[in-house]
Amino acid sequence: MPERPLEGRVALVTGASRGIGRAAAIALAGQGASVAVGYGSNMEAAERVAAELRTHDVSAIALGAELSDAEQAATLVPRTVEALGGIDVVVNNAGVARDNLALRMSDADWRAVIDVDLTAAFVICRAALRPLLRQRWGRIINVSSISGVMGNPGQVNYSAAKAGLIGMTKSLAREVGSRDITVNAVAPGFIETDMTETLDTQLRVRVVEQIPVGRMGTADEVAAAIAFLASPAAAYVNGHVLHVDGGMGA
């Protein structure tokens, strides 16, 4: 395989100003892809990521959108095409969490998570399908979660959204696989990100005890899985959910 197998390709990564999204953007740029760095509110962080990506001798741009607004989410694809000349890879990584027990969960918290974590991913996929189908090549990678595979108490909204991403991934894979477009998902377990930094020490210990490898994962480890699924090496992987969870879902 070439050293830069995505040379000349263009990727859109949502939620790329930090965490897994940032790591994925860097990994894709390292493979030669130009990258649109999608962000919600932290423009400065997204611009820093874009500047870092350019050190890999690729083009990069920061694109802001409020993903709870489906119309704004859908604009990310044509804006990527306009700014970078096309679109080949889509990584739906952006997500929010509004945890609570189901009995106490408000309608607003339910909708907020479904709108960003699931609906935005769908409208971005839908917008991307036309150019991908026209060129008969593409890679879509949806970032789900082990919570969407196994469920997690206090996360009925998050688990439902992430499980929905898996169903969407499998259906899309069947719809577009014949056009050399693969649609896959990664399901991270507990990863060292801003979302897990808030865990108190006792809870962190209990979490790690559930992980067969005995530690949390890193954003770079998830990004490596995303980069593989985007690469030509994964051309025959379609409709798959790749667990990056240290064995939690085994």
Which residues belong to the active site?
Answer: 158
Phi, psi of 114 (to 5 degrees): -65, -40
Rounded Cα distance between 81 and 12, Å, is 9
Segments of 56-215 assigned E as strands: 60-64, 89-92, 138-143, 181-188
Point out which residues pair with 35 in neighbouring strands: 11, 60
Rounded Cα distance between 18 and 111, Å, is 23
Q: Which of 250, 249, 236, 219 is nearest to 91 (CA)?
A: 219
- Inter-axis angle of helices 19-30 and 219-230, nearest 10: 50
Rounded Cα distance between 1 and 102, Å, is 48
Segments of 86-210 assigned E as strands: 89-92, 138-143, 181-188
- CB neighbour burial string for 223-236, b if at least 16 within 10 angstroms, e if fewer: bbbbbbbbbeebee
Q: How far is CA 171 from the centre of its chain?
A: 17
